[in-house]
């Protein structure tokens, strides 16, 4: 922690930089992701800092992703019972012919940055994702570059947004999806497996969300204001279900070899229980106190 605060102060020479690049929430994520190994945590922080300085992910101009912002493919909507901001992803609103892989990736970074700010404001430092698979259509939604995109997103999540995900809810899993999930689970750590939940009955989501914070289509009572995004009209065609599953198979098998690396997240295998959450909260509080003491000492 002392080395991180010293490096930050030397590079930026202002207190605001400490709050931005050496805050307790961020350092806690690195410590948890690297099993509290100081050397590895510091190296992870250093790479993260260099990436943020070079890429400026918090300064992505909205005009560069205007189509994505108005597509309805992903948007932030309220929060779960823990207070974690919720990112809703609707795969049926992703039209690859209308955009590029680069812009989709840029949009993903933009949404993650927004999620970080929402999580900090909420005081949870975590987010949740509701992945809505309903209405996927091979002809309209299948993206031949999705494997490449997912690999890049997974790598980015691991290295630059470690431990930000609290839970991911996947709705409308068909038989093929569940089969692939069963094959994939052994490659993931228990900690990661516990974060991903397949939702077949929308009422199940009420275990994790209050009705007023969940859209009607997901079993809640909330309505989505049209001013928030442009929702595309989707027509459902049951005859395409087999083609859709073949498209998903192509993506999942291509990505399967990457799940093991993504799932480990530098964490040791073990059950993910409430005690882990309590330990992380205590660790964050301790780091925050240490940062405060280091800063006060230097100022005096």
Cβ contacts of residue 300 below 8 Å, gap of 6+? Answer: none
What are the residues facing 195 on neighbouring strands? none
Element (H, E) at 91: none
Please name the residue that has the structure tokens 């050397």.
39
Model confidence at 283, pLDDT cuts 50, 70, 90, reads low
Gyration radius from the chain CA atoms: 20
Helix boundaries (H) for 172-231: 175-184, 190-193
What is the SS3 assignment for 169? strand
For residue 297, the model assigns a pLDDT of: 42
Cβ contacts of residue 89 below 8 Å, gap of 6+? Answer: 73, 74, 129, 130, 131, 132
d(CA 112, CA 33): 18
For residue 278, the model assigns a pLDDT of: 61
**Vertex 145, ends 33 and 161: CA angle to 5°?**
20
Token representation of residue 49: 């800092």
Query: What length is written for the chain?
Result: 300
Rounded percentage of the chain residues whose pLDDT exceeds 90: 33
Model confidence at 197, pLDDT cuts 50, 70, 90, reads very high
Asked if residues 152 and 105 have their Cβ atoms less than 8 Å apart, the reply is: yes
Nearest to 21 by CA among 61, 64, 51: 51
The pair phi, psi for residue 169, each rounded to 5°, is -110, 115
Model confidence at 185, pLDDT cuts 50, 70, 90, reads confident
Please name the residue that has the structure tokens 């106190």.
289
Burial group, residue 236, by CB count within 10 angstroms (0-12, 13-18, 19+): exposed
Asked if residues 246 and 136 have their Cβ atoms less than 8 Å apart, the reply is: no
Chain centroid offset of residue 206 CA: 21
pLDDT digits (tens, 9 = 90+) for 236-265: 334 444 444 444 444 444 444 444 444 444
**What letter does residue 206 receive in the DSSP assignment?**
G
pLDDT surpasses 90 at 74: yes
d(CA 207, CA 222): 16
pLDDT surpasses 60 at 226: no
Interval 217-237 mean pLDDT = 61
What pTM was computed for the model?
Answer: 0.73
Model confidence at 267, pLDDT cuts 50, 70, 90, reads very low
pLDDT surpasses 60 at 15: no
For residue 280, the model assigns a pLDDT of: 64
For residue 122, the model assigns a pLDDT of: 93
Dump the DSSP string for 117-142.
Answer: HHHHHHT---EEEEEE-TT--HHHH-
Cβ contacts of residue 161 below 8 Å, gap of 6+? Answer: 112, 116
Cβ contacts of residue 11 below 8 Å, gap of 6+? Answer: 17, 49
d(CA 130, CA 189): 21
For residue 157, the model assigns a pLDDT of: 83
């Amino acid at each position: 922690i002392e080395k991180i605060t010293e490096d930050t102060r030397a590079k930026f020479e202002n207190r605001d930089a400490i709050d931005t690049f050496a805050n307790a929430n961020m350092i806690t994520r690195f410590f948890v992701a690297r099993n509290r190994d100081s050397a590895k945590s510091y190296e992870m922080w250093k790479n993260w800092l260099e990436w943020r300085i070079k890429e400026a992910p918090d300064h992505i101009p909205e005009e560069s992703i205007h189509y994505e912002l108005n597509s309805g493919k992903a948007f932030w909507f309220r929060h779960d019972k823990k207070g974690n901001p919720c990112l809703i992803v609707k795969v049926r609103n992703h039209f690859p012919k209308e955009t590029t892989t680069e812009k989709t990736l840029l949009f993903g970074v933009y949404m993650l940055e927004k999620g970080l700010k929402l999580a900090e404001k909420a005081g949870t430092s975590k987010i949740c994702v509701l992945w809505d698979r309903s209405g996927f259509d091979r002809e309209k939604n299948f993206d031949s570059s999705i494997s490449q995109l997912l690999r890049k997103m997974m790598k980015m999540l691991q290295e630059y947004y470690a431990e930000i995900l609290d839970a991911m809810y996947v709705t409308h899993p068909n038989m093929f999806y569940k089969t692939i999930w069963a094959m994939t689970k052994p490659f993931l750590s228990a900690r990661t497996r516990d974060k991903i939940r397949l939702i077949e009955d929308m009422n199940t989501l009420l275990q994790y969300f209050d009705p007023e914070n969940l859209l009607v289509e997901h079993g809640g009572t909330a309505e989505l204001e049209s001013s928030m995004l442009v929702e595309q009209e989707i027509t459902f065609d049951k005859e395409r279900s087999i083609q859709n599953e073949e498209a998903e198979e192509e993506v999942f098998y291509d990505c399967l070899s990457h799940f093991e690396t993504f799932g480990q997240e530098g964490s040791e295998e073990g059950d993910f229980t409430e005690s882990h959450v309590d330990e992380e909260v205590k660790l964050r509080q301790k780091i925050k106190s240490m940062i405060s003491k280091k800063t006060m000492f230097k100022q005096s």
